[in-house]
Amino acid sequence: MHNTADAKLRTPLLFLLLAWLSFACSPTGKKGVSVMDFGAVNDGSALTSEAIQKAIDKVSADGGGQVNVPAGTYLSGTILLKDGVTLFLEKGAEIIGSNSLNDYTNIDPFTDAVGQQRGRCLIGAKGAKNIALKGEGAVNGRGERMVYTKKGQRSMRPFLIRIVDCQNVELDGIETRNSAAWNIHVFQSSKVRLTNLRILSQSEGNGDGIDVDSSNDVYIGGCDINAHDDAICFKSTSPQACRDVKVENCRLSSRWGAIKFGTESMGNFENFEISDCYIYDTHGGGIKVLSVDGSNVSNINIHDIEMNDVDMPIFMRLGARLRTYRNAEKRPVGSMSGVSIKNIKIHGKRWKKWRMEAPGTIFITGIEDAKIKDVSIENVDAVMYFNNKAEKEEVVLPENRERYPEFIFFGKKLPAYGAYIRHASGVTLKNVKLTVRNNDERSFVKVVDVDNLKLDNVQTNLAPAEGVQQYVFKDTACVKGHKPLLSSM
């Protein structure tokens, strides 16, 4: 016979155990509150952002917790995350954006590098701590459905997710689609984790995947991004530095750049490691490091990257546009030093869909009074599909000190198909092998105004065209370890 007291003790313990097991085994980790309990509508028929906001506000006021969005379609304008709140999108849940600008709040106005008025968003947070957006659901901006009733309104189109002045932020697992503008913008925030995100945004131009802006202690990992504009872009639209960032194990595709620093570049870019990423079907640059608004770029480590079907694989630019943002004072010309790009496999554009008539593989250019310094590009194996005739006259690229820093603005043709380097100091190319599948009669390497250049085992499969120098060194000093090799690759 069982002891009655023991039986009474076991009953509540058994209940608690069963309750815990029920929670632990549920597919969503079911906890917190449901937006449905606050009047949300999940058939996409009515604007339901007010109900979702009530749920977030209540949970935050009660000390924090999880707000669940069950399966269904939720038509929404701006939703703001608050302290301590995790917004959890269950499998089958989709938040879709309203097509009216009036339903979006501008949580932090600014004007970007091309003069567009920015700041509205579908899901946002400002000055919040310990917030998260997680789950297996989706956020769909429906950018293609936005209605603009007045001239100039299109430049105000909303971002999808905007994080401003926040700490301890996590975005994990969700899918974002069809943003009207940038998908995810993180500004002046710290301790941010962006993981396992799927970003599909081809409906509108300027649809960047992830923009990290004047922020620090940021981790991006395991993301799959297919964006109309830059896939991952680091910006500084304020004098505050963008620093201590790690990116790894991402798949990236873009109509423009895959991995990009700038163009908005007031604050410094410091301490970046980007590794183990696959870049494919990218039309405007694989790796782009740009400083044109006063940013000092230092300690950038990019390694173990594979590119497939990519135009202009490596582009670096130090310029003097010196644009200002948010009423900040104009900064002096910046600097670029300590950039390492290593272990890169490249398969270039297969057909003539290049942005330039005669592009190249590596393009580095500073300006006369601000040279790019201490750059190391090592262990590069590239296959490209160039097919250009030699020019009768020397191709001289414009300086473009103050122009928007895209390689397409330096003319239709680069003077070299392998590497063109200008206004730099301390550049090392080591173990760089380039195979051209067609034929190109331009120079393989052309260097202009470079100090302390080191070339070590830099190869091409093409013999020089008649009357064309394979290696051109103009106003260049200290060419060390120069070992040009030809092979029958």
- Contacts of residue 152, defined as CB under 8 A and 6 or more positions apart, other chains included, come to none
What CA–CA distance (Å, rounded) separates 16 from 277? 45
Buried b (16+ CB within 10 A) or exposed e, 117-152: bbbbbbbbbbebebbbbbbbbbbbbbbeebeeeeee
Cβ contact 297:326 at 8 Å: no
Q: List the structure tokens of 283.
A: 């039309």
Q: List the structure tokens of 201.
A: 């945004």
With residues binned 3-state (H G I as helix, E B as strand, rest as coil), the percentages for the chain, rounded to 5, are: 10, 50, 40
Burial of 14 (0-12, 13-18, 19+ CB in 10 A): exposed
- Residue carrying structure tokens 């900040």: 328
- Cβ of 21: how many Cβ atoms within 10 Å? 10
Q: List the structure tokens of 393.
A: 């006259």
What CA–CA distance (Å, rounded) separates 456 from 468? 21
What CA–CA distance (Å, rounded) separates 184 from 161? 5
Q: Which residue type does 334 have? A: G
What CA–CA distance (Å, rounded) separates 407 from 161? 29
Q: List the structure tokens of 419.
A: 């590497």
What CA–CA distance (Å, rounded) separates 227 from 234? 15
Cβ contact 178:138 at 8 Å: no
Q: List the structure tokens of 75.
A: 């038509």
Q: Which uninterrupted H or E stretch holds 55? A: helix 49-61
**What's the DSSP call for residue 214?**
S
Q: Enumerate domains of the chain plus CATH numbers.
A: 36-486 (2.160.20.10)
CA-based nearest residue to 225, from 273, 258, 186, 248: 258
Q: List the structure tokens of 480.
A: 């060390």
What CA–CA distance (Å, rounded) separates 289 from 272? 12
Handedness of CA 66, 67, 73, 74 (dihedral sign): negative
- Tell me the per-residue pLDDT of 134-150, one tens digit each, with 9 for 90 and over: 999 999 999 999 898 88
- Cβ of 352: how many Cβ atoms within 10 Å? 9
Q: Which uninterrupted H or E stretch holds 12? A: helix 4-25
Helices (H), 26-153: 49-61
What CA–CA distance (Å, rounded) separates 74 from 94? 6
Cβ contact 327:262 at 8 Å: no
- Residue carrying structure tokens 């200008």: 422
- Tell me the per-residue pLDDT of 232-272, one tens digit each, with 9 for 90 and over: 999 999 999 999 999 999 999 999 999 999 999 999 999 99
Give the side-chain half-sphere CA count within 13 A for 146: 30
What's the predicted TM-score (pTM) here? 0.91
Cβ contact 107:146 at 8 Å: no
Give the side-chain half-sphere CA count within 13 A for 103: 21
What CA–CA distance (Å, rounded) separates 363 from 397? 12
3-state secondary structure of 3: coil
Q: List the structure tokens of 155.
A: 């430049």
Per-residue pLDDT of the chain (489 residues; tens, 9 = 90+): 344 444 433 433 433 333 333 333 333 345 899 999 999 999 999 999 999 999 999 999 999 999 999 999 999 999 999 999 999 999 999 999 999 999 999 999 988 877 888 889 999 999 999 999 999 999 999 999 989 888 888 888 999 999 999 999 999 999 999 999 999 999 999 999 999 999 998 877 788 999 999 999 999 999 999 999 999 999 999 999 999 999 999 999 999 999 999 999 999 999 999 999 999 999 999 999 999 999 999 999 999 999 999 999 999 999 999 999 999 999 999 999 999 999 999 999 887 678 899 999 999 999 999 999 999 999 999 999 999 999 888 899 999 999 999 999 999 999 999 999 999 999 999 999 999 999 999 999 999 999 999 999 999 999 999 999 999 999 887 565 555 544 444
